[in-house]
């Protein structure tokens, strides 16, 4: 029997910045149910993904590792399904492996996008997943019982219905359950969403999405700059998804298990809808970027009866902290041999030890672009020769003035680079190190490391 009777629901959206939720101060977008989680629990104001693009970030949430350890360095373009299907996280330990071994029944509904979508992996006994990573919002390609089929209807609703059925089946189990609800929203395309919701944003001024002057590094998505229809589509995707988050919360209450369920809401990476002059995330520019809008994600949690409601945390937390935290929270021991780089923040969830986060340093990577961030400063280093960036986050929170060429900052840059390189040296597998891989944001087509010797053939070049 598990040591805990706590159910877990992990809701993960796709390409949603914290700014795209009412509880983070946006009064234009309607997210009453995300806000509901925050009101009944904790809102984290400084939560960072491990890589500002979907597949590497998702792999880091699941394994507690950085891309240069698990080997997923870009969004997975090929190897999701068919004869060339590749199991990208083969040999890695995810928290669901450990939950399953400890007695949790584990299920996933929605986006997997970590390779070999037909094969149930990492302790999941229920496996209803998107074939790839996204696509049209209606009649999406889904996989159930090893079979690919076109699921009729709006994919957000399709994912939710499956999640609700899973909750119904396991609400009265003696053992607890875990459920990943992985929406494709609000990832592009920003068309095909419920028209009444789209129309409801007709008069929105979109002041929360300033269409800044075009960024010189802006990618193809930046053609959306100034396009109100795309803004309406993005907001509608979020609001339609939020409605279904409410259906999940309602079902937990109807089944009488809300107080027994730890609910987490977050996203795989942030997103800019015109902020800083581009649309997109880490690969919304080239060179790849580490702007705050790309690396910060919403993170709100709720567990009535254990977590005090209405709290806000200003501590800095990373996706690699999630695995040790979740396991600690429900009393599952991670093998010491894993030597995870993240740190549990269960004490923060339980209302203690917030000050322990004051000196935290955040690390991010996307191929040869790496970042080290303190509360006051951010340094972005691009191997082998730049361009590099240094931002004073206190006096320049918008990251408009790059101080990397400022001679007065030479010592600071040297110190931050040293901290970053020492940390990555400790948490990297040589054969999966992204520092020298040609990752450009065009997608990954096969695993790196192990029996794949030539990493240069694993990525699509721009």
Q: What is the pLDDT of residues 99-129, one digit of tens each?
A: 999 999 999 999 999 999 999 999 999 999 9
Residue 141 CA: distances (Å) to CA of 74, 178, 375, 449: 22, 24, 42, 30
Q: Which domain holds residue 144?
A: 7-357
Mean pLDDT within 436-445 = 96
* pLDDT interval class at 359 (50, 70, 90): confident
* pLDDT interval class at 461 (50, 70, 90): confident
CATH code of the domain in which 179 resides: 3.40.720.10
Question: For the chain, what is the total number of helices (H) and then of strands (E)?
Answer: 11, 16
Q: How many domains does the chain have?
A: 2
Same domain membership, residue 442 and residue 301: no
How confident is the model at residue 450, as a pLDDT? 65
Same domain membership, residue 392 and residue 350: no
Reply yes or no on whether the pLDDT at 451 is more than 70.
no
Q: DSSP per residue over 139-168, as a string?
A: EEEEEETTEEEEEEEEHHHHHHHHHHHHHH
How confident is the model at residue 365, as a pLDDT? 98
Reply yes or no on whether the pLDDT at 159 is more than 80.
yes
Closest CA to 361 of 344, 371, 348, 374: 374
Closest CA to 24 of 282, 238, 195: 238
Reply yes or no on whether the pLDDT at 260 is more than 80.
yes
Using CA atoms, how far apart are residues 161 and 109, in angstroms rounded to an integer?
Answer: 9
Same domain membership, residue 236 and residue 115: yes
Percent of the chain past pLDDT 70, that is, above it, reads 98
Mean pLDDT within 258-262 = 98
Indicate whether this model's pTM tops 0.85.
yes
Q: Please give the distance of CA 299 from its chain centroid, rounded to a whole number.
A: 10
From the number of C-beta atoms within 10 Å of its C-beta (0-12, 13-18, 19+), residue 400 rates as exposed
Percent of the chain past pLDDT 90, that is, above it, reads 94
Q: Where are the alpha helices (DSSP H) in 277-321?
A: 292-295
How confident is the model at residue 292, as a pLDDT? 98
Reply yes or no on whether the pLDDT at 1 is more than 70.
no
The mean pLDDT value of the chain amounts to: 96
Same domain membership, residue 407 and residue 332: no
Q: Please give the distance of CA 424 from its chain centroid, rounded to a whole number.
A: 20
Same domain membership, residue 303 and residue 379: no
Mean pLDDT within 77-92 = 91
Same domain membership, residue 376 and residue 292: no
Tens-digit pLDDT profile for residues 282-322: 999 999 999 999 999 999 999 999 999 999 999 999 999 99
* pLDDT interval class at 390 (50, 70, 90): very high
3-state secondary structure of 271: coil
Tens-digit pLDDT profile for residues 194-239: 999 999 999 999 999 999 999 999 999 999 999 999 999 999 999 9
Reply yes or no on whether the pLDDT at 453 is more than 80.
no
How confident is the model at residue 162, as a pLDDT? 98
Residue 451 lies in a domain: yes
Residue 2 lies in a domain: no
* Domain edge (last residue) among 339, 357, 375: 357
């Amino acid at each position: 029997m598990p040591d805990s009777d706590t159910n877990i629901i992990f809701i993960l959206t796709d390409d949603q910045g914290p700014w795209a939720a009412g509880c983070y101060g946006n009064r234009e977008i309607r997210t009453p149910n995300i806000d509901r989680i925050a009101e009944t629990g904790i809102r984290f104001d400084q939560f960072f993904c491990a890589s500002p693009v979907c597949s590497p970030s998702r792999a880091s949430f699941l394994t507690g590792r950085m891309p240069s350890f698990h080997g997923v360095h870009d969004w997975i373009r090929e190897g999701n399904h068919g004869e060339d299907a590749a199991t990208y996280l083969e040999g890695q330990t995810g928290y669901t492996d450990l939950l399953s071994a400890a007695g949790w029944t584990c299920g996933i509904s929605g986006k997997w996008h970590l390779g070999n979508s037909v094969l149930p992996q990492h302790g999941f006994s229920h496996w209803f997943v998107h074939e790839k990573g996204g696509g049209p919002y209606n009649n999406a390609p889904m996989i159930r019982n090893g079979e690919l089929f076109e699921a009729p209807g709006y994919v957000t609703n399709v994912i939710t219905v499956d999640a609700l059925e899973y909750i119904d089946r396991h609400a009265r189990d003696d053992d607890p359950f875990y459920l990943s609800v992985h929406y494709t929203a609000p990832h592009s395309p920003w068309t095909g969403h419920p028209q009444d919701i789209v129309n409801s944003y007709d008069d929105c001024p979109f002041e929360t999405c300033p269409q800044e002057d075009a960024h010189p590094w802006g990618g193809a998505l930046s053609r959306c700059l100034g396009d109100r229809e795309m803004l309406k589509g993005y907001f509608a995707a979020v609001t339609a998804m939020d409605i279904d988050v409410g259906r999940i919360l309602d079902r937990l209450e109807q089944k009488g298990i809300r107080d027994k369920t730890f609910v987490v809401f977050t996203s795989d990476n942030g997103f800019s809808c015109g902020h800083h002059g581009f649309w997109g995330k880490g690969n919304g520019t080239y060179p790849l970027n580490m702007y705050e809008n790309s690396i910060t994600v919403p993170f709100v949690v709720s567990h009535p009866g254990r977590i005090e409601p209405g709290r806000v945390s200003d501590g800095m937390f990373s996706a690699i902290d999630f695995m040790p935290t979740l396991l600690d929270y429900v009393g599952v021991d991670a093998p010491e041999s894993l030597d995870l780089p993240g740190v549990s923040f269960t004490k923060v969830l339980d209302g203690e030890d917030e000050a322990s986060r004051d000196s935290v340093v955040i690390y991010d990577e996307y191929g040869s672009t790496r970042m080290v961030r303190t509360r006051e400063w951010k340094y972005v280093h691009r191997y082998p020769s730049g361009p590099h960036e240094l931002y004073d986050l206190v006096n320049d929170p918008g990251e408009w003035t790059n101080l990397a060429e400022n001679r007065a900052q030479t010592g600071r840059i040297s110190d931050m680079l040293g901290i970053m390189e020492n940390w990555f040296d400790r948490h990297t597998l040589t054969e999966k190190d992204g520092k020298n891989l040609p990752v450009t944001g065009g997608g990954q087509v096969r695993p790196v490391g192990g029996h794949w010797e030539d990493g240069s053939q694993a990525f699509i070049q721009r």
